Amino acid sequence: MPDPVPAPLQMVEVQRTADAELDRLRPVLDGLGKAFEDAGHELALVGGPVRDAMLGRAHTDLDLTTSALPDETERILERWGDVTWDVGRAFGTIGCRKGPWQVEVTTYRTDAYDADSRKPDVAYGDTLAGDLGRRDFTVNAMAVRWPGRAFEDPYGGIVDLADRVLRTPVTPEQSFSDDPLRMMRAARFASQLGFDVAPEVVAAMTAMADRIEIVSAERVRDELVKTICGRWPRRGLSLLVETGLADRVLPELPALARERDEHQRHKDVYEHTLTVLEQSIELEERLPGGGPDLVSRLAALMHDVGKPRTRKFLDDGTVTFHHHDVVGAKLTRKRMKALRFSNDDTDAVTQLVELHLRFHGYGSGEWTDSAVRRYVRDAGDQLERLHVLTRADCTTRNQRKAARLRRTYDDLEERIARLSEEEELASLRPDLDGNQIMEVLGIGPGREVGLAYRHLLDLRLEEGPKSPEEARAALQSWWADQQRPDDQARG
């Protein structure tokens, strides 16, 4: 089961945790703060690092804000750090690395936004309070001045953090009008931190959901990825569905919610999907890189998106979703392309969605060895993720049925392991390569070599590995069959 969301914090606990983290940061920030102070400027740790210091989450990437303009910031950082960069100069940001620490310092800002764009016209401010007021949520609108460690919290972020709730420093309508992507960030923080979202923030997200459409697909995708890969993704995804944002960015998910059967003739596909996602997360330790695993989670989220388009009610009262795996794979590919996912991730997730039902043909172990080989071949390098998805897809409350499915899949995995050990199944190839095929048949490169290669691969799948002599004999027999119709035609 997913981790329980932490309870609200006691203020004394927040203070103690923050002090310990700020003590850890002193070796890097004391010197930097003194450098800015000597130059006549203010410097403050701000945003996520302050919030996470109170939550006991350590950082080596530090965000700071300053009264200094970018040119002066750059001069100070060049003297203090190991290397600097200015790719964010247009937004007032200069970056620096010193040892293991990565520091970004941004000039106080009071941005102005165009009504039809989320890109601000950058305007520099002159106060820390003004800079904090433009930030997304109160828990990110706290700062610690350096040196001296004076705490600044003009919008009550520390109380909201202790209560684990997301609010905006200004009205949520103004905040989301300024930057619509903040609505997606609300879902991301709900997923990553387990925070609740204040009712007025949810109401504004619902009323302004269509404004997300002016944000680029890449930025939406990045926030969606962080939401899916958070510790409590159900919270963030449910918020997107509840507010209507998912209708704009991932419409396949709310379509599952609308597909509920009022007569209870089949399970709630939307709730089933979120449960499969949570169960797949529990199984991520099986994957080579552990978790969070984006491809595995996306496959769990998308595996049944073909059901709304394939649902049919039969005369006997049952419900079918024939070919929802194939339809779902097409919908998945289309959505991931629209969100500008990489080709590799798109191919992997689409493949898993298309294969997620394959195991159910296994029955109680009736597959032949050749069928097991085909399962492995078709899964390719996604086999371990397919194991996770298939196991997670069992959400029945019938414990006897669930145990039977687990035992059956255990059996399949054991057979795969045995065959893999015996036949090097993971790198399954024909017993002869292309050059050997041409040599045996006395032909040059061409279509016939490909046909012969596929025949030998099918033979390998059906009958297992052969010796070189057996493979040559089988190839020559097949080749003779291919030539016979032509001989008869000439006769």
- Beta-carbon contacts of 100 under 8 Å, excluding residues fewer than 6 positions away, are 60
Domain membership of residue 317 (yes or no) is: yes
pLDDT of 81 higher than 50: yes
Flag whether the pTM goes above 0.85.
Answer: no
Rounded Cα–Cα distance for residues 438 and 355 (Å): 34
Query: Do residues 304 and 448 both lie within one domain?
Result: no
Same domain for 460 and 337, yes or no, is no
pLDDT of residue 331: 97
- Residue 357 domain-assigned (yes or no): yes
**Domains of the chain: total:** 3
Asked if 16 and 134 sit in the same domain, the reply is yes
Tell me the pLDDT tens digit for each residue of 453-472: 889 888 887 888 888 899 99
Whether pLDDT at 264 is above 60: no
User: In terms of domains, do 419 and 443 share one?
Assistant: no
Per DSSP, the three-state class of 441 is: helix
Q: Are both 50 and 113 inside the same structural domain?
A: yes
* E-strand stretches of 108-257: 112-113, 120-121, 143-145, 151-152, 165-166, 196-197
The answer to whether residue 181 sits within a structural domain is no
pLDDT number for residue 262: 47
Residues 336 and 383 in one domain: yes
Q: What is the CATH number of the domain that holds 151?
A: 3.30.460.10
Which of 427, 445, 471 terminates a domain? The answer is 427
Instruction: Name the residue range of residue 106's domain.
Output: 1-163
* CB distance 69 to 106 below 8 Å: no
- Answer yes or no: is 201 within a domain: no
Which of the listed residues 427, 443, 477 is the one where a domain comes to its end?
A: 427
CATH number of the domain at 297, please: 1.10.3210
- Residue 25 above 70 pLDDT? yes
Within this chain, do residues 256 and 401 fall inside the same structural domain, yes or no? Answer: yes
Same domain, 154 and 273: no
In a domain, 31, yes or no: yes
Q: What is the pLDDT of residue 112?
A: 56
Report residue 445's pLDDT band, with 50, 70 and 90 as the boundaries: confident
% pLDDT > 70, the chain: 93
Using pLDDT thresholds of 50, 70 and 90, give the confidence band for residue 155: very high
Residue whose pair of structure tokens reads 């991931």 in the numeric block = 336
Q: Are 153 and 258 contained in the same domain?
A: no
Whether 169 is covered by a domain: the verdict is no
Same domain? 480 vs 341:
no
Concatenated DSSP letters for 56-74? Answer: T---SEEEEEESS-HHHHH
3-state SS track over 296-318: HHHHHHHCCCCHHHHCEECCCCC
Does residue 91 lie in a domain region?
yes
Round the average pLDDT of the chain to a whole number and report it: 89
Average pLDDT over residues 378-385: 93
| Percent helix, percent strand, percent coil in the chain, to nearest 5 | 60, 10, 30
368 and 276 share one domain = yes
The reported pLDDT for the residue numbered 9 is 80
From 427, 460, 475, the end of a domain falls on 427
Instruction: Tell me, yes or no, whether 346 and 479 share the same domain.
Output: no
Apex CA 191: angle with CA 185 and CA 196, to 5°? 85
114 pLDDT higher than 70 = no
Asked if residue 84 lies in contact with residue 77, where contact means CB atoms within 8 angstroms, the answer is yes
Is residue 208 a part of any domain in this protein? no
Q: What is the pLDDT of residue 490?
A: 38
pLDDT digits (tens, 9 = 90+) for 312-369: 887 777 777 888 999 999 999 999 999 999 999 999 999 999 999 998 887 777 888 8
